[in-house]
A and B are shown apart, each in its own frame.
Chain A
């Protein structure tokens, strides 16, 4: 089971947090488990090979467009109390959770993963609310992701993902 990436979008359709994990190389030992997206991007080789692809921002925009359309489609078909949970293609699975404040949490995993809605809810309650909303230095809105990617949140997310996906 692999988690590829994680995004938070605010109610102004902006991506305020994104994080990518590279999958664990199967031959490597547990200690070599890739942890943060930033560390892989600081690695010279991977950066070069990824430059040709869509930038991170473009990816986030595409993901937002997709979940926004699907969410509206689901609301229209299933009624207002219905919620879009996830979709699966043959390569990946996208999990979605929306808070009452229209904050959107998106996680992309491999296809074998069960529903991550509860995990996304926990990230919101235990990490986002605790370390971002309750942070007195963080602004109310987060244009450009200001105040979201603080140390406690990043560390908490890291730890949480390690418990969700035991090595």
Chain B
């Protein structure tokens, strides 16, 4: 199992966590990652309102994303596969893995649990701000390395 990187994007499209586990993706500067997170946030919103007309209830206004429409869940390219998990509060977890990686949703769920345990329960953490939590770092490290 090869997990390349994890990004966490807050509900406003800002990058709040960025971690590389395995080289394989191009090296990007911190600024590039911020741009990438912002771009993805926008595209994710557009992909929610794009919908084949066959599925669309005819009377609804399309500029409002319909209930139940998730944005991009999986993005595939030749060199990697990106899975996005959006929480109910709008935080997005992006996990970059190799293209044939199975069970990415399980990994993402586990990462979300770690986030809930070590970030959200940390009284010193400000929501929507960059995540600085050593326990979260270590938890991730342990989980990703053990499962390799």
Q: What is A's interface to B at a CB cutoff of 8 Å?
A: 2, 4-5, 20, 22-23, 49-50, 52-54, 59, 62-63, 65-66, 69-70, 72-74, 76-79, 81-92, 94, 108, 115
Contact present for A69 and B42 (CB under 8 Å): yes
- Contact residues of A: prevailing secondary structure: mixed
From residue B41, how far is it (CB to closest CB) to chain A in Å?
11
From residue B94, how far is it (CB to closest CB) to chain A in Å?
11
Answer whether A76 and B36 are a contact pair too, CB < 8 Å, given A66-B43, A90-B73, A91-B69: yes
From residue A70, how far is it (CB to closest CB) to chain B in Å?
6
From residue B116, how far is it (CB to closest CB) to chain A in Å?
23
Answer whether A89 and B73 are a contact pair too, CB < 8 Å, given A20-B53, A76-B28: yes
A95 CA / B26 CA spacing, docked (Å): 24
Contact present for B72 and A91 (CB under 8 Å): no
A22 CA / B58 CA spacing, docked (Å): 13
List residues of chain B with CB within 8 A of the CB of A69.
Answer: 39, 42-43
Q: Of the candidates A77, A84, A87, which one forms a contact with B36 in the assembled complex, judged by CB atoms under 8 Å apart?
A: A77
Contact present for B79 and A85 (CB under 8 Å): no
Shortest Cβ distance from A82 into B: residue: B79
From residue B35, how far is it (CB to closest CB) to chain A in Å?
9
Q: Chain B: how many interface residues by the 8 Å CB criterion?
A: 39
Answer whether A85 and B77 are a contact pair too, CB < 8 Å, given A69-B42, A76-B32: yes
A69 CA / B45 CA spacing, docked (Å): 13
Shortest Cβ distance from A45 into B: residue: B58
A26 CA / B75 CA spacing, docked (Å): 29
A60 CA / B122 CA spacing, docked (Å): 45
List residues of chain B with CB within 8 A of the CB of A77.
Answer: 25-26, 28, 36, 80, 96
A59 CA / B63 CA spacing, docked (Å): 11
A115 CA / B78 CA spacing, docked (Å): 12
From residue A146, how far is it (CB to closest CB) to chain B in Å?
25
Answer whether A54 and B62 are a contact pair too, CB < 8 Å, given A90-B69, A91-B69: yes
Shortest Cβ distance from B52 into A: residue: A4
Q: Which 5 A-B pairs have the closest CB atoms?
A: A4-B52, A49-B58, A78-B79, A87-B75, A82-B79
Contact present for A66 and B50 (CB under 8 Å): yes
Let me know if B46 is at the binding interface, CB within 8 A.
Answer: yes
Q: Of the candidates A53, A76, A79, which one forms a contact with B56 in the assembled complex, judged by CB atoms under 8 Å apart?
A: A53
Taking A53-B53, A82-B79 as known contacts, 12 extra A-B pairs with beta carbons closer than 8 A to each other, sorted by chain A number, are A20-B53, A49-B58, A53-B62, A69-B43, A73-B43, A76-B28, A78-B25, A78-B77, A85-B76, A87-B72, A90-B73, A91-B51
